[in-house]
Structure 1
């Protein structure tokens, strides 16, 4: 049975549809809040009109006026109301905190807050020539609904964030599967010719007149090729770490490169401390990272300059391997970009070396790899950090 999967365009369509639904819901919710606000204003104005007409028709004095006001206010039980006379003395109130009504300062602040937001008090003339002022506020329901669009917006933002993370993670996983597949296929394709070369090397050893030095050097290169095959086969597989002497691993990589660099390039190696440097590493993969940094440094020199490799301790917890060159350097904007798959400044290259190195150091060895320093036309220093045992 064929496994169903959503492609790139399907995922983008899913995010766009989700975005459209979220925006539509947000706009419609805001529209409903506006309609409810208009409805409440209309109701309070009708209520005030009814009060005014009732007061004008009343002929029995303030007692009847108070009774009518109480009944109508009870009818509008969901809208906070304060009814005052000409001198802002409270005649009646509804849904107002008693503590506010008991404190003149809080009451004044409450009347002022009711006046804000375009809610000017409604004035009702009485038969005696005085004016009753009706202050009103938005209902608790309306106030709650005003925050609802923002809650929706927050939920929508979280949804988009998770969708983006999931999409990016899916894309990253897909890329990883491609790199792992390429690495394993490369290891498989290199397996047959390297096995054949081992046979030819033994044949050369048995022949007279062949310089042993030549055979030994060919054996070194073939051994390195076998290491490369082993490294590619380990990509994506469970990585076994073991206690190793970091100095010996780095020294081995330096020794291999020292006999294969141009004559105008110097390669120096030093340990800045006499303390033992043991770390949990995988020999093949860790050497690959060091060799990759040495190769990049050599490319940056363009046939002339120096490479300095130093080992040091930081805070007695981390072993630092610094690979410094006197090459062309790089701008600070590229410090992180050089670890992105496909990024390269070379005319030839896939831009995968540093990306794989970062994965090996950080995911497999739980260490760090980064650009420590770089200056145009003066050189670059790369640093690897692994925990000390």
Structure 2
């Protein structure tokens, strides 16, 4: 498995929660402290990576795979595919290892594509028939709706996935990789095939993404650590039971269940921007502090970071000034209860650091419902 654990990636800001003037001119701040809210874009965990290939190059086709047909690399303005027919197997004998194989495919002509792991096959036809087989024996089947044939490159794609463990096989299907639900499963005698893993097709097939992962271990894509001058809080971690973690932030279920079955309270990952809160956050009025966001997983994104009154935060004023688009919030008074939201930066300064290329990002869009921390660069 590839080690996708975090090394030295981070995003860092200098911030200062400031009091604001009350109607009589007195400077006031939150009565009981602050809540720090972080906007996160979380994704469902994915099988721990062995190979993640976005149809990289002809050299990749020739060195990473063994072919029993003819496959070629195709590129149009940076969008790439593997195109061909016949077998395209990873050049490795996986013996009886539990594996996860996902392919995003496109049908230029009517036909079928087969994903194979150790003699277990997920077979998807362009008419929408989806079958799970062991050898020539059909273990389970369903229909998923006809798939567009002959669409322009990059359109009408289908995502089919096969997971094979010691004595189970599962097939997942969707039209996008963001969410690929379970559609077929079967219990097997212990798998002891040839160790071959890959895909094959009788007709021309286009593939723009092949992902090979471990059949048991998952990589979560959900959480970040927030550090405020040495005080830390983990935000975004999905509560789970019946799992075991390793030292690279991967986990596996203790029994043969899907990852979703380990989540407590049937937690659903929204696949949209959501908020996680540190309450109370160790912030002090008119005191600068260095805020550092450290991803604990790969492929987790951060958006806006907001500090508000822990008791009742309310946005009552929004301004955009200067090219840096700094927003600020002002005081709201309700009787003798002070509700205050404050600036969460000093002059809009931000610092970025870490190894380039890891996917932790800040977004530069303005919506008048919260503060946005601005940066002059993107990790």
Q: Give the alignment's TM-score, normalised by structure 2.
A: 0.24
* Higher relative contact order, structure no. (Cα contacts within 8 Å, ≥ 6 residues apart): 2
Which structure has greater strand proportion?
A: 2
Q: Give the alignment's TM-score, normalised by structure 1.
A: 0.24
Structure with greater Cα Rg: 1
